[in-house]
Copies of this chain bind each other. A is one copy, B any other.
Amino acid sequence: MDAVPHVVARFEDDLSHLKERLLAMGGEAEEQVRSAVRALSARDLSLAERVLAGDEPINRLHVEIDQRCFALLSRHQADATAVRVIVSGLKINSDLERIGDFAINIAEATFRYLQHPPVKPLIDIPRMADLAQGMLRDALNAYVRPDTGLAQRVLDRDDRLDGLKDQVFRELLSYMMQNPATVEPALDLVLISRHLERVGDHATNIAEDVIFMVSGRDVRHHRQEGGAPGD
């Protein structure tokens, strides 16, 4: 494309508007995860119900952002840098939508869990929630600045989340084996810990996309060599 100045300026505007919409989507996804986790720790059934009913804004943004990316790729002869921004946008959009789904899954399991007396005081699951939410917040900050150092620090935290998930699993397994009455609610805690780990996985994906967007380096699958795959 000839670099007609007003066309270039319009394209830049469109790109920064894309970024704004992705951040709005990130805010919605963060809020859904935060509420789902709070519903669990505060035993707040009505908050769990609000999360279950609250996925519409994320679904709308998911479709809207994909359309924006698609229009940007179709209308402009974008250079490699712009294509990286748009392709990263597509991927981050999909990760945020999945994170919204996991918030729903956490709220569903919480809703069932709250029908029973508590299995145990929750310690590691709130820790997992803090860790996963911190990873998501940092991944979004890394995207908006953009900051590959911060993105790298998100990647470094994924193993801790995985370790906590295994610890939660072993502990709940022993509760279930000792007391059949705990089987049903403990199973939901196992599922919640897995959903939180998946939130962290998708925050990791976003961080990887930020590194690709800024540097063009594809860091996926390299860190994981020799490690165990996650859930």
Interface residues of chain A, those whose CB is within 8 Å of chain B, are 1, 55, 59-60, 62-63, 66-67, 69-70, 73-74, 77-80, 83-84, 86-87, 90-91, 94, 101, 104-105, 108, 173, 176-178, 180, 183-184, 187, 190-191, 218, 220-221, 228-231
- Indicate which residue in B55, B60, B173 contacts A184 across the interface (CB closer than 8 Å): B173
New A-B contacts (14) at CB < 8 Å, excluding given A1-B77, A90-B91: A59-B221, A66-B218, A69-B87, A70-B84, A73-B73, A74-B78, A74-B80, A90-B90, A101-B230, A104-B229, A105-B229, A173-B183, A173-B184, A176-B176
Cα(A94)–Cα(B183), bound, Å: 35
Tell me how far the C-beta of A35 lies from the nearest C-beta in chain B, rounded to whole angstroms: 15
Check B221–A62 contact: CB distance below 8 A. Answer: yes
Residues A183 and B190 in contact in the complex (CB < 8 Å), given A1-B77, A69-B87, A90-B90: no
Check B83–A70 contact: CB distance below 8 A. Answer: yes
Check B90–A87 contact: CB distance below 8 A. Answer: yes
- What B residues does A79 contact at CB under 8 A? 74
- What B residues does A59 contact at CB under 8 A? 220-221
**Residue of B whose beta carbon sits closest to that of A86:** B73
- Indicate which residue in B55, B90, B105, B173 contacts A231 across the interface (CB closer than 8 Å): B105
Residues A220 and B63 in contact in the complex (CB < 8 Å), given A87-B73, A183-B173: yes
- What B residues does A191 contact at CB under 8 A? 231
- What B residues does A55 contact at CB under 8 A? 229
Tell me how far the C-beta of A114 lies from the nearest C-beta in chain B, rounded to whole angstroms: 17
Cα(A221)–Cα(B61), bound, Å: 11
Cα(A60)–Cα(B221), bound, Å: 8
Residues A78 and B87 in contact in the complex (CB < 8 Å), given A173-B183, A180-B176, A218-B63: no
Check A187–B187 contact: CB distance below 8 A. Answer: yes
| 29 A/B residue pairs, CB under 8 Å, sorted by A | A59-B220, A62-B220, A62-B221, A63-B218, A66-B218, A69-B87, A70-B83, A70-B84, A70-B87, A73-B78, A73-B86, A73-B87, A74-B78, A74-B79, A74-B80, A74-B83, A87-B90, A94-B94, A101-B230, A105-B231, A108-B228, A173-B183, A173-B187, A176-B180, A176-B187, A177-B180, A177-B184, A187-B190, A191-B231
